[in-house]
Structure 1
Amino acid sequence: MKNPLQKLSMHKRMMLYFSVPLILVQILLCFLCYPQVVRHYREKTDYSMEQSVSQAISFTESYLRNMTYLANMVEDNGVIQNTLSADGFGEERPYMEQWLEYYELNKEFNSYEISNSIYRFCLYVPDEVMYAGNQYYFDGVSRLKERSDYVDLRYALNTGEDYVAISRERDGVDQQDTSQMVTLYHRIASKKEKEEELGICSISVSAKYFQDIMKNANITSEGLVYLMSENGRMITSSNSSILQKMQKKGILLNYGAELFMEKKKEGQKEYYITRQNVDGASWQMILIIPENEYEDQYRFLWLSAALMLGSMIAVIVLMSYLLSGYYVGRLKKLNVEMTGLESGNLNANLPITTEEDEIEEIYHNFNGMVQEVQRLMQEHYQLGKEVKMAEVRALQAQINPHFLYNTLDLINWISMDYGAEEIGTLTWNLARFYRLSLNHGKSLISIGEEVEHVEVYVNIENYHFDNAISLEVDVPEELKSYACLNIILQPFVENAIVHGIAEKPDIESCEIRICARREEQDIVFSVQDDGPGVDVKEMQKETQQDIRTAQHGYGVRNINFRLKLCFGEKYGVTYLESEKGTHVEIKIPVMTMAEAEEKI
């Protein structure tokens, strides 16, 4: 079945080869990263909510601690203790005695209130006391008994605990100026007889302070934060209108076990619930957040990720289109000139720029071939020899569109795997590798070129193995000009890679070291790797086999055979024992290029 991509133009195919892998990588990265981003963002959001609630509780507890401290300070006050424990207190007494008593107590409470301006103080005395109806710093005990929660209040005080609740108390200098207050009721015990109750005092602070704390703790627009007492009484909330709506729908939670960001269904909707205790009072701070409001922030993340991915895909497609169009345009010029040359236009010529890339090299080769065709044609006309025409046809046969397509296919595949910017380096290494391998058909090469042959080979292989191959070359400069047979080092390097990092997935890297030293009139190469190693005796035995009957290991035996054939039995390949990897030595005679060409 024909590949559908073959029906597309070169421009479109190259654009697909460039863009599709990058787009797939981007999509894969988004799918892999998005859950992590959401999880991290959710953790941050939950942490922020936890901190908001914790901070609100901390502020609330701070107010309660202050109120407890002030109540204890009132209880420990000597004037108050003496007054409340005096004989006949609460009974009928002379007016002047009660007036002096009122004056002393009033002075103490006035001092407290000046020092703690946001707090309101009150002492509950028997109704028979003259100033019990003062309703400023003093009030009658009967007012407490009018409270609907008096039983709870009395129970808490009898057990030695403070009782905190909502009440309407004086809010300013004017005793008629009252507002909703959070009040702590404290039992004043006698310093002489701890079990004896002398009276009850209260410390009040405006409920607005607690409402502000609730508002700051609520980081959502439709959520609600409120304080609930153990006996099910509402203390205060962040938003009274939302509180009323939730009360009507039956969504509000009562005092219960502590929770943090647990999902619960209340009515027709689901909510995230947090419920934590408040120290210093039998209260809980409760946070209710509608699920849709909590999840909306993650929809924004998804939209942002989609927009970012779409933008990146658009940029990739645009860049791929421009890049592929640039290379295809240059190759189209070459195709046009080739077509013209095949049609008989011997004046075909491609403009040479300064880019010095592989396509530019093709341009140079094409122009050189055209010039050679022109030269051969001129010789044909001048000499009239058919053999010259055959040479022209041979050269023309070399210049055909298959060369273009094969070259383009190579560029395409490389660009798919590595990106367009690395095409130049890889193609240069490949071209250099084959030039050194073919060596214009000659079997002799300088040691320096033989080493370079190995280096470009390793460069190419490193593209396959993500630079996991390390090559160390230690060849003295004075040896590099001497001659050697070509391709006597590369097969050993290839074996180190093929039977090591390429064959065994658990090997993550490959280190190869090539050294050369002179021993009198010989040069000895040493090739050593850190791979799995070989059986030295077995390899030495296989090296000596006849290459015509060998079933495998042809490359190494071929090198050994060539060296002995050209230089004598003294020279060849020797495997050595090694603690790690494979160690092999190749011995050749010291010969200049001229001496080697004369001998071989």
Structure 2
Amino acid sequence: MKKNGIYLTLGGRFVILASVTFLFPLVIFASFASRNYGEAVNLKLEQMTDAALGLIDKNIDYIIRDVESTASLITTNRSTQALLLEKDPERYKLEYREKELAVKNLLINVTNNKDFFETVYLGNQYTSVNKYRSSIASEAIESYEAMIENDWYRELTEQKGKGVWYKGDEIPGFTDNLLIYAKSILNMNNPRPIGILLVGIGESPFSQIFSDQQVDFNAKILISQNDQIIFEYSPSEDEFLSSLTQEQNRRLIRSDGIVDISKKVYVRHIENRFSGWQITSVVPYKEFQAERMGSSRLFFSIAAGCFLAGVLLMCFFSHGMTRTLKKLRNYVEALRQGDTGTEVTFSSRDEVGMVGNELVRVVSENHRLMQNLYQSMYKEKEAELMALQAQINPHFLYNTLDSIFWMAQEYHAQEIGEMVVALSNVFKLSLNKGEKFIELGKELDLVTNYLEIQKMRFGSALRTEIDVPEELKKVKILKFIIQPLVENSVLHGLAENGMAGTIRVTAKQDGACLNIAVEDDGQGFSGTFEKALQNGYALKNVEERIKLCYGEDCGIFMDPEVSAGCRILLRLKVWEEEQ
């Protein structure tokens, strides 16, 4: 194989093919491993975020339930109910002062250990009670008459005693508070509103909850309601999370998964079932992305290392394999140069070595056979010279038979002359100018002349029939194979009948085979055909010549279906002129 002027050896092609075949699975393995590990990192991040959000959600549930239970305790207390049912209080009467003092004491008692209850308002159009954790309030709470004009108040009354959460800046007087829990107070004797309760919640419980969660990773926490952020917490050590704008925060509470806001962050949400708040966790993705990239580099480095190791191993094995091939190539090159005396041995531990040893054996055997062939050709040439010398005797015999013929004509011995001519034809056709093959028509002429001699000898009781198509008479067959069978029929088949009978010769082509039949109506074989084939010299000679010339599937066969006489079949092959 040659490419761009560079020859690639078998070993080089093997290394290239094996490397390409080895490379694809490694690339696929590294790609899948990197992707699966990346998904595992994302799953780990998702589980960590869900665990942190779940814990935050539980703590928020605790705060909400604490606020709601405290609010219920205040609104259902007898002192609260009595104060709010006072429709025309005289603030300086002792009875009213006692009710007001009882409510203040109640607020102090139930909120004393709750430091996140920063502001409490309880009142209606007739009276109101305020409690501040700080002794100085930065802003006064507006009057009840002003409150009832606001949208939030109308929304609150529609809840019919159910608590509602608001942002601290929605109600004047509570702007210092993070959140406001508002609840309409119902009369315990009938479900009519008799006032409202407003509880201002500070940031301290939420900040404590969120700061306690920063264990394995930093996260920004956003609490939102109706797409409005009501609280946000950012770890102080993360400047990027702390510097996010309100617009970016609003985008995050509406997103999920990996979000790119100048840097990639992972966003996850959970909804609080009591308040309906959406709690959003925003985690910087830089560390996890670095972990993913590191794992990808690791997997592809492993794949590259395995590939290089595989290439080295393939080069090693290729060298071991091609070393035997090079040795075999050098041996073949030496044979092409005519050096047949080089003795080479190959290792039989692999197939190439076994092939090499077999090639050496074949070459040695071929060399021996070539020597034998040269000897045979030499002997054949000697035999041809002897045959040329022997041709002198046939010419002498032809001249002698010609002299006998003319003497028979001179003495008017017609039958003797005809017999001499037939004998001369038989002799001439059997020699066939020294050729091994003869046309079927000439072979049949030989048979005809032989039978003419026999008819002159035994008379007209001997009858002959030759039925061969004209197109088959040009087919060449091995010479002198039909006459011995006809002679066998005459001497063994008809001799017992006084030479009275019929000898019939037919020929038919069957595909690539030529079937010739010699049939007589004489006595047939006294024994088995196989025994006759072994003991009879003529039959045995013809059988061996046919098999040597045409192959083992050709030869002499007897037709077992003939009830009287004998029918011998010759099976030959029809060859092209070149063959």
Q: Pick the TM interval, shorter chain.
A: 0.3 to 0.5
Tell me the TM-score normalized by structure 2.
Answer: 0.46
Tell me the TM-score normalized by structure 1.
Answer: 0.45
